[in-house]
Amino acid sequence: MVTKMHEYDEDDFRVIFNDVHIELNGITYGCEGEAVYQNRLRYDEEDGKGWTFEDLEIDVLISYRWDDEAEWIESPEMDDNIELREKLLAYLEA
């Protein structure tokens, strides 16, 4: 589940996520945490006014890996893994 907080409060730049599954090197990781947009830009166009959000960065990440015994195991060693973070950001921005 991904919740973009700016859809509810235009002053909240956070993206809250949980139960997001990312596959990396044949292993499925479950991710939860918070990301924050670093930039918010206002636009005025013919069809209306609004905001665009850019430069999403992961602020908090807790990762779990799927064990063949049908359970999730915490994997803190992956919390700073660049490839996992890149795939997660791509998922969150889609």
Using DSSP's 3-state secondary structure scheme, residue 89 falls into helix
**More confident position, 79 or 46:** 79
Q: What is the pLDDT of residue 42?
A: 76
* Confidence band, pLDDT 50/70/90 cuts, at residue 69: confident
Pinpoint the alpha helices (H) of the chain: 82-93
Nearest of 4, 10, 9, 14 to residue 34 by alpha carbon: 14
pLDDT of 68 strictly over 80: no
pLDDT tens by residue, 5-63: 988 887 889 999 999 999 999 999 999 999 999 988 877 777 767 778 889 999 999 99
What is the dihedral sign for C-alpha 72, 1, 86, 26?
Answer: positive
**Domain residue limits, the chain:** 2-93
Q: What is the pLDDT of residue 23?
A: 94
